[in-house]
Amino acid sequence: MRSDKELFEAWRSGDRAAGGELVDRHFAAISRFFRNKVLQPEEADELVSQTFLAFTASKERFRGDASVRQYFFAIAHNVLRNYIRAKYKRQREELDFSEVCVQELDPASPSSIVMHRREARSFVQSLREIPVGDQVILELMYFEGLSGRQIAQLLEIPEGTVRGRLARGKQRLRERVMAALQTGSSTGDLQVTADHLDQWAREVRAQHGW
């Protein structure tokens, strides 16, 4: 099987089939990236299309300083940020992605990731209720199975920054999930641990074939 780099060079040399194979190889991961960060499911499809169109438009500028996978995710990250800026257009002049969250865009909008169990549903929904910067990093860890170092390479930020955001994001996520599960519950104080978060992430991946 040809590597990403080999496929990319063949595509840039005119092999359209190689380009199609490269897109197919990364399509599922880029789709997952957008699934829980948009207001409507069809918007995720549009953002995926924008990502691959931008990748195609910039292929001559790509010099291989990063992996093809990194380049895909870097474009997807920029597409997401532009999407959120556009949605917030009339609400804020400048956005701090360490503060704003997807759910603020439309509190009534549900996630397109549908889960059977209440705990897993609360986990998915709570990811939308923490800052986008934290959500991106946590979902790359939980849904793509990436390490702190891999996330740092993918987003081109220091590994120490990623580890700090992971710790902060997990704490915020735990607090949101606990609040959600305590609503209407008669079981008293509920405690959500890192193991619970890992378990629910595994449920999401298993239920959706990830």
The CATH number assigned to the domain holding 134 equals: 1.10.10.10
Domain boundary residue, one of 41, 68, 95: 95
Q: Are residues 105 and 204 in the same domain?
A: yes
Which position has the token pair 């895909």? 72
Q: What is the mean pLDDT of residues 58-66?
A: 83
Report field, pTM of the whole predicted structure over 0.85: yes
pLDDT digits (tens, 9 = 90+) for 146-162: 999 999 988 889 999 99
Structure-token pair, residue 53: 């169109």
Q: Are 111 and 124 in contact (CB under 8 A)?
A: yes
Q: Are residues 79 and 106 in the same domain?
A: no
d(CA 43, CA 34): 9
Q: What is the mean pLDDT of residues 96-117?
A: 88
Question: Would the CA dihedral through 148, 153, 158, 162 be positive or negative?
Answer: negative
Range of the domain at 50: 1-95
Q: Which residues of 89-122 are buried (b: 16+ CB within 10 A; e: fewer)?
A: eeeeeebebeebbbbbbeeeeebbbebeeebbbb
Closest CA to 4 of 63, 62, 68: 68
Q: Are residues 106 and 207 in the same domain?
A: yes
Domain boundary residue, one of 65, 95, 125: 95
Domain boundary residue, one of 95, 110, 125: 95
Structure-token pair, residue 166: 């992971």
pLDDT digits (tens, 9 = 90+) for 71-91: 899 999 999 999 998 888 755
Query: How many structural domains compose the chain?
Result: 2
